[in-house]
Structure 1
Amino acid sequence: MASWKEIDTHAKEWTKTAGKRLRESFKETLNISTKSNRNDLVTNMDKETEEFFITKIKENYPDHRILGEEGMGEGVTDLNGIVWIIDPIDGTMNFIHQQRNFAISIGIYENGVGKIGLIYDVVHDELYHAVKGQGAYMNDVKLQELEPVALSDMILSLNATWVTENKRIDPAILSKLVKDIRGTRSYGSAAIELAYTAAGRVDGYISLRLAPWDVAGGAVLVEEVGGLVTDLRGKPLDLVNGGSVFACRPVLHEEVLKKYLADY
């Protein structure tokens, strides 16, 4: 079996290569289509980037399996063995409209345990990366262990649509939380928001509906600096089917769960 160091080196190299190609695509005309609804966008670059990773993985690690957003990998229904969970462009709407605030996200898991996490903020050339047990980094700068902060000082990354009326949670639950903390932010990319949580740029991130490829890489990063990543009931993430996500600094994670999300 290949060493984790070799796998990590390859993943970083391929991610940087894919990011360069995405930057080059800014001057090209994108082929844009929709998936589940008119706001669920996909471009030719999403598909091209995922195909690039699949080709590289299969050439070098033919026994590894792949779970990707665009469905070009295998039909993965469990996390047995080594599984690459890939989002070729997390924040496709931002990629199309802003040409910033999007990322490549990769989580590599062995029998359900996150071993490697990579999030590449392509435009800012910030590669957040972690190998389990070896710390987390932004480029060559080691990220510090996350320390607790007071609830009243919390900056929470949260999509405003979750605070309005929806079928997944009583909006009063989140609106009370929002009123009690210092402020909220929204970047339109779960990967970037998880990377920012790991880096301490925000103190936590909540989403009511995410796919495995949205969070697999970021979960490794956040946990490697002492943060906690669960669903909104405090249970482990479902990295096969997806679901809600709550990533946060230690202590504060438990406080928010008990005080605001107990009735979720």
Structure 2
Amino acid sequence: MIELANRKVLLTPVYMEGCLRLRKLCVKEKISAFDWSVQAIISWILSKSFGSKNVSIVAEEDVQTLSKPGADRLLKVVVETVNECLCEAYRFGLEGPESTLCTSEVLEAISRCNSSGGSTGRFWTLDPVDGTLGFIRGDQYAVALALIEDGEVVLGVLGCPNYPMRKEWLCYHPRYHSIISKLSPTTSESWDKGCVIYAQKGSGEAWMQPLIHVNKKLVWPNSAIPIQVSSIDDPALATFCEPVEKANSSHSFTAGLAHSVGLRNQPLRVYSMVKYAAIARGDAEIFMKFARAGYKEKIWDHAAGVVIIQEAGGVVTDARGCPLNFSKGMYLEGLDRGVIACAGANLHDKIISAVDASWNSSCL
């Protein structure tokens, strides 16, 4: 499993390189091409490492759309992007293809992203662009990959290309950096951004590998450092995260919960699973998400972040305090009201109690 984790960490920058290449496309093409390109790259590298018969991936996009008439232009972009990125694999300690992948090979790789999950066996779950609006706007987004065995998440990797190395910068759009940098020179400790955070179940450790640019080229040095959740357990000092978009979570309900447990800090509204990364790294203490009635949480939106926070010393459950269930297919079936992630058990217990006291009066 350690070897598996190492492979996972190494391949992460390869598909993050794809993020940068695809930024030049129009919005609709950008997202579509990004999704399929990442899925193809991940599938190909996993198959190269473990054999195609041993690779099964749960992902949102399937190969059918790319195979339809009229998808020629998009498919061409995907094939070109996949090959451009795989040519850079050697820079991250990985072996790329011996020759350029043809269209059928790229489609074959994507076709392995058709697993429906379940309670038995091994499969991967992948979210190639978690935080779509964040990606489009040049703000926070994440590439999330997790390994699930017999319904349990055993390995999680979060690639966060725009995650700044200092907590306070999370509150600002990355474009503000160009303005602030004119007022005060930045240092490697202040604005260097981009990291991969990962953890293996049962290890009791979570790690962060920063992405460092040298001469405008992405390099992958051996500079992983351990991370852990914050030691803050006083609600008055805690910071809580929530989704940026109101459609994804009830800001009014979480605001009421924050007030009832004594949270004084303004909420940190961040796109994507970067919220999980922020808690694991100690930049925030609480993540609360309560979706509107009828919305079903997908496993790829949580799997990687859950195991990372747990191994970093935190707690993640539903609103009843039960573990999230990743064994029922593509969705978190049986989820009670919402998801609560905390840096410690004391904060977690207070949030759970506040939910129970406030739920009946909510409109969710």
Q: TM-score, normalised on structure 2?
A: 0.62
**Corresponding residue SS for 1:43:** helix
Aligned mate of 2:127, from 81, 87, 95: 87
Distance 1:31 1:263, change over 3 A: closer
Deviation at 1:31, TM superposition (A): 5.5
Cα displacement string for residues 173-231 of structure 1 (whole angstroms, at most 9, x for unaligned residues): 43322333122111111x10001011110111112243211111010110002211111
Q: CA RMSD in A?
A: 2.2
Aligned mate of 2:287, from 205, 222, 247: 205
Write the distance in 2 (CA, Å) between the matches of 1:43 and 1:238: 29
User: In the alignment, is the contact (CA less than 8 A) between 1:130 and 1:224 conserved in 2?
Assistant: yes
Which has more helix, going by share of residues?
Answer: 2
- Which residue number in structure 1 is paired with residue 321 of structure 2? 234
User: In the alignment, is the contact (CA less than 8 A) between 1:118 and 1:129 conserved in 2?
Assistant: yes
User: In the alignment, is the contact (CA less than 8 A) between 2:43 and 2:55 conserved in 1?
Assistant: no
- Which residue number in structure 2 is paired with residue 37 of structure 1? none
Task: Indicate whether 1:186 and 2:269 are aligned.
Answer: yes
Task: Indicate whether 1:107 and 2:146 are aligned.
Answer: yes
Larger Rg: 2
Task: Indicate whether 1:25 and 2:19 are aligned.
Answer: no
Write the distance in 1 (CA, Å) between the matches of 2:161 and 2:22: 12
Aligned mate of 1:119, from 158, 164, 186: 158
What runs of 5+ residues in structure 2 fail to find an aligned partner?
63-109, 163-192, 210-223, 292-296, 360-364
The letter of the residue matching 1:150 is: D
Deviation at 1:153, TM superposition (A): 1.7
Deviation at 1:116, TM superposition (A): 1.2
Cα displacement string for residues 82-133 of structure 1 (whole angstroms, at most 9, x for unaligned residues): 22111111112111122x3111111112212222111111232211111223
Aligned mate of 2:49, from 49, 56, 60: 60
- Which residue number in structure 2 is paired with residue 144 of structure 1? 228
Write the distance in 2 (CA, Å) between the matches of 1:10 and 1:225: 20
- Which residue number in structure 1 is paired with residue 347 of structure 2? 252
The letter of the residue matching 1:85 is: T
What runs of 5+ residues in structure 1 fail to find an aligned partner?
34-40, 165-170
- Pairs within 5 Å for 1:162-177: 162-163=249-250, 171=252, 173-177=253-257
Task: Indicate whether 1:10 and 2:11 are aligned.
Answer: no
Distance 1:31 1:15, change over 3 A: same
Deviation at 1:262, TM superposition (A): 4.8
Distance 1:261 1:141, change over 3 A: farther
Distance 1:31 1:63, change over 3 A: same
Write the distance in 2 (CA, Å) between the matches of 1:85 and 1:51: 13
The letter of the residue matching 1:17 is: V
Which has more strand, going by share of residues?
Answer: 1
Q: TM-score, normalised on structure 1?
A: 0.84
- Counting aligned pairs with the same residue, the percent is 21
Write the distance in 1 (CA, Å) between the matches of 2:237 and 2:27: 43
**Corresponding residue SS for 2:271:** coil
Write the distance in 1 (CA, Å) between the matches of 2:151 and 2:48: 23
Write the distance in 1 (CA, Å) between the matches of 2:276 and 2:301: 9
User: In the alignment, is the contact (CA less than 8 A) between 2:229 and 2:343 conserved in 1?
Assistant: no
User: In the alignment, is the contact (CA less than 8 A) between 1:86 and 1:105 conserved in 2?
Assistant: yes
**Corresponding residue SS for 2:290:** strand
Q: How many residues get paired?
A: 244
Deviation at 1:43, TM superposition (A): 2.5
